[in-house]
Amino acid sequence: MAQTSVNPLNGETIKEYPEHSVGEIEEKISASNKTFESWSKTGFSERSALMNKVADLLEERKEKLALLMSKEMGKILPEGRSEAEKCAWVCRYYAENAEQFLLDKPLKSDASKSYVSYQPLGVLLAIMPWNFPFWQVFRFAAPSLMAGNTALLKHASNVPGCALAIEELFRDAGFPESAFQTLLIGSGEVASVIADQRVKAVTLTGSTKAGKAVASTAGKHLKKCVLELGGSDPYVVLDDAPLEKTIEACVTSRLINAGQSCIAAKRFIVTEKNYDNFVQGMKNAMKGKAIGDPTDETTGIGPQARADLRDELHEQVKKSIEAGAQVMLGCEVPPGAGSFYPASILAGVKPGMPAFDEELFGPVAAIIKAKDKDDAIRLANQSVFGLGAAVFTANQAEGERIAREELQAGCCFVNDFVRSDPRLPFGGINESGFGRELSEWGIHEFVNIKTVYVK
């Protein structure tokens, strides 16, 4: 079997990569486990120096890496450069802060001395998606390696070039050869890797369906797991929201990465007072976003990562229209080569439609009318997901109250679009998964929080 890299711009094969055999998988797990014995005892100063070198390489190679992302999954070049820079940021963040995050924490007890010590677990498996092929990996790898663990990456099968480029970055930076390794394997091989007693934990970013499968396997073998899954993020627009800035933030969030983001704005829930103006404003802002070659600096929206994903998105759109949603912009598959889908708007979206109930993984805005603030919050929370949410209002204190107390999601923003930040914990609830990445909370997910009691 082989993993094939296909350019979504034209459907042409870039390269085929042979998948690793059962024997090669065993060699890589064994090597990772062996490397853990020494890497876990390496001092923070050495780990930090190597992680900072990775950051340097990411910045030096960002043009090359951005082009690779464009070729393999259709990301426009400016977003690819930004992704490489963000990966460098998370590397430097943990290089600087990991030691402090993992200091022993004294606790009072009946002992003469008692404290919590944070110790690495061992070999970790990361199962990562194609939409942010570098960032999703680095937000796992930077804290995990700085904590003293070693890592195995099972990347999405349509971005094998990105997977191997990440492995090369760690190797070129001077990390032990088997501290970070890519497994070129299909989904059918994942369960056996999770089951291996040398693999101590697993993290997955991907669909809810994939997350449930991995969680089931991990649970069967009593392995810790962290899951960052799908989302249908609601953006609540209240009566007093400053519309111009609100629309700007909403359009930016909806169209990042051609709409292929778990935390992109998906459902725009607008109170009656602003509804018509919001719909028209979104239409005016989105209609100028041209689709095209992601390597052309003037392109606003690149192709969807694969043709089958584009077709699934269009089916959801068509079913929503059949159920009564109104087409305000786009919503048609353009002719010609490439897995393109235009910036699109569905208005009059209601519960029961795919555009409300499901995740639309593409540049389609679903606009929903709410009677008032309370109705808007109710509609926002009427979802199986719970990754991100945002509220827009001129009353900052009330927006903060709604974000803190009312919206049911792991990341709630006020007057801005939801995004991940190395300094802030990131993750969801409900069918958006569990566990946290980034910040201090992220590095604590894959360590043994060990109680030490001295009489």
Q: Which residues are catalytic?
A: 228, 262
Q: Going along 7-49, which residue ranges are E strands?
A: 13-18
Question: ∠ at Cα 284 (278, 285), nearest 5°?
Answer: 90
- Rg of the Cα atoms in the chain: 22
Rounded distance between C-alpha atoms, residue 98 and residue 91, angstroms: 10
Rounded distance between C-alpha atoms, residue 428 and residue 262, angstroms: 10
Phi first, then psi, for residue 121 (nearest 5°) are -90, -40
Rounded distance between C-alpha atoms, residue 69 and residue 295, angstroms: 10
In the block, residue with structure tokens 């951005």: 66
Rounded distance between C-alpha atoms, residue 366 and residue 121, angstroms: 43
Start-end of H helices in 158-255? 160-173, 190-195, 208-220, 243-255
Q: What are the tokens at 107?
A: 């606790």
Q: What are the tokens at 25?
A: 């998988």
Secondary structure element (H or E) that encloses residue 273, with its range: helix 272-286
Three-state DSSP state, 151? strand
Nearest to 410 by CA among 434, 440, 374: 434
